[in-house]
Chain A
Amino acid sequence: MSRGLIISAAFFSLFPSMQALAQQIELSNQIWSAEVIRAKGQPVIPLFDGWFPNEDGSSTICFGFFNMNSEEALNIPAGEENYLDTDYPGLDLSGVMLPTHFDPLPPRYRHVFCAFSINVPADFDSDNRITWHLNSNRQELEVPGKVIAPYVLDEPSSNGRGDIAPLVRLEDSGQAIRGRAGIQYPQVIQAKVNESIALSAHIEHGDIEVWVGWSHHSGPGSVQFTNKEYMTESGSSTSTELQISEAGEYVIRMQTIDDIAAFEFYCCHTNAYFSIQVVD
């Protein structure tokens, strides 16, 4: 057994099949709480967060992730180490907003909830799947996204808690969207390496304040934000400035929710994405 862990014979007598079925990842044998999170060397876990039905009969599948490192940021470019596949014939996954950058997150929430989503047609049934493959730090991991009842999500509002996803507009006269499928800034922003880039969004919500988080979603270099996570007044515009260290194509993700603690309840936040082309 790895890492010199001590698991008693009594434990295996409770679960005789455990040794045979243990996963490819050492985590299946971890025993102490503190073992899970380490400074570096751990993988990023791909997560299926759930799905929600749309009015047109289609469904939207949500994926999130969980960086197991407290200090190590990982870049996992789209390709052999980071890709989607599906058993649903003909489903085009090329336009999916796949994340390639995975920050080590602050202690509060390591789980990034529904970082991206995929729309699937009405006849995508409970036996179909979209699988996200994500390999990092020598761990080949995957997770299937499915349209199955136990994982249904409230969207864009929750009857019980009375929550609703903030309404987000990225242009003065542009479309306003609420929910996890999100809104995409319509233009590709052009910038130079280390140039200061300002991004803003108008956010409306019934609460006086809402939580906002900006993240490096994809792109090869590093991104420095002036404001990364904060509470802001709803009914107004919020902005951040950022600088990008190397040339390439980037996506910046903004998430907003009434309170960060509401993520635990899986309802309800809005995603916004900004594409940036960075040149030397």
Chain B
Amino acid sequence: MITITRLKTLVSVVALAAAHTVLAQEAPTYSRDVAPILQDKCASCHNPEGIGPMPLLTYQQVRPFAALIKDRTTKRIMPPWHLDPTVGIQEFKNDMSLSEQEIATLSAWADAGAPEGDRADMPAPLEIASGAAWQLQEQMGPPDLIIRSAPYDVIANGQDQWWMPNMPFDGLEKERWLRAAEFKPSYPLGKKVVHHGHAVLVPKNPEEDGRRSVALARYGVGKSWEIYPEGTGMRVPTDGHIAWNLHYFPVGDEGPGDVVEVGLWFYPEGERPELETAGEAMFRVDGLNGMARGQDIVIPPHGYQVLQGTHVLDSPAIIHSYRPHMHMRGRVMTMEAIYPDGRKEVLSQVNKYNHNWQISYIYADESKPILPKGTVLQFSSVFDNTANNPINPDPEQWVVFGRRGVDEMNHAWLGMTYINEEQYGTAIAERRASQETLRVSQ
């Protein structure tokens, strides 16, 4: 027997389902359905000041690309987010990927003839920052200190170029703690041609400082800034020199005197964060087992190679971000944790790696791996030198280690903070408490 209450519920469900069917049959419109998605996930690059090849801010700009948008989004080529959504941690601070629902909306809109709809449904227009602006400015204010590379004359065509000037660093009166850093190529030329780079501070007195180098900022197309978690910072000595390592990739545009800037934001003077980080640390996959770097990379024509490398953590650690690095034949890179008790867990897997992007996957605070001492980080990479690889420059070639994009290399950059046992215990307790709170609140 159906009670009145249950009957009311049933009627409501049927009514909702009917309404949903009507809505489902109604084609999405640009103004109501598509523009919010594009504003949220695409406009940061696809604006007149961005690195996207065309702006996607108005109906007139978007309409001609409706079919292309459907194609690129259904294939998950755009927005660039190369993480395997079926395995590992899925909560990130910078997740640009589209949901299945968003992809379905864009696809249905294109199939329906890309209708504009009622302009009154349009979301408020975005305020687009200048391409030359600091991305972190809105959140962090202007940088406390800006360092600059020596000018470089960009060539239009030719081999990859590496610009590695040393510049003096004498910007601080006292040792400070870095809270955030942004690596900013020039606009518009630098944003097209700087593929990746590093700004590393070499202390004037390395023995006294205890470090040979301090990696202030590392950059790749798709990764330009880093904000350390609250209470975590990088110690910056007062003086030394900046060793710049800039990889310019000729794309047909040239220009004299290109300069890269790095903006630095510090904790207030005198404030020392609880945890010290070294920023992004390199975990090599190639050339381990006593071999020189990369001498184990040999990828056959029309073939594949799998490399695997392991690193044992000699103290507990928190991983803030994961940024695989390979070149044009790189396709997959998996990071697994093998815990001291033998358990094994995939932390993250990039399965659509694209050399044209160097995305740093920044874990959400509640999901970042907190790993005990003795954890083995195991990286497994797949190189695809077949014609199936869409950016393979020539599948007939043998591929070995080298610095050019057509050669290969294999490592991961991990945003790491090493912690002591007490801090590890605290971090684990806080994580458990937050998970318990989450369960209760649900």
- Chain A contacts to B: CB under 8 angstroms: 7, 11, 14-15, 17-18, 21-23, 25, 27-34, 36-37, 45-48, 50, 66, 68, 107-111, 141, 143-144, 146, 148-154, 158-161, 264-267
Contact = CB atoms under 8 A, between A and B. Distances in A.
Contacts of A265: 162, 403-404
Contacts of B332: 14
Interface of B: 152-153, 155, 157-164, 248, 285-292, 295-298, 300-309, 331-332, 351, 382, 384, 386, 388, 393-394, 396-398, 400-406
Contacts of A149: 157
A15 B153 contact: no
Contact of B159 (A21, A25, A36, A267): A267
B382 A159 contact: no
Contact of B308 (A21, A32, A66, A150): A32
B296 A45 contact: no
A268 to B, nearest CB: 10
B163 A161 contact: yes
A23 B302 contact: yes
Contacts of A111: 295, 400-402
A32 B331 CA distance: 17
A151 B159 CA distance: 7
A146 B394 CA distance: 10
Contacts of B404: 265-266
Given A144-B396, A266-B159, 6 more contacts: A15-B331, A27-B303, A150-B405, A150-B406, A158-B162, A160-B248
Contacts of B406: 50, 150-151
Q: Which of A15, A25, A154 has the most B CB atoms < 10 Å from its CB?
A: A15
Contacts of A34: 288-289, 291, 296
Nearest to B306: A31
B307 to A, nearest CB: 5
Contacts of B400: 45, 47, 66, 111
A33 B394 CA distance: 23
A153 B384 CA distance: 23
Contact of A159 (B161, B287, B303, B308): B161
Given A158-B159, A161-B164, A264-B401, A66 B298 contact: yes
Given A21-B386, A45-B298, A152-B159, A264 B308 contact: no
A33 B158 CA distance: 32
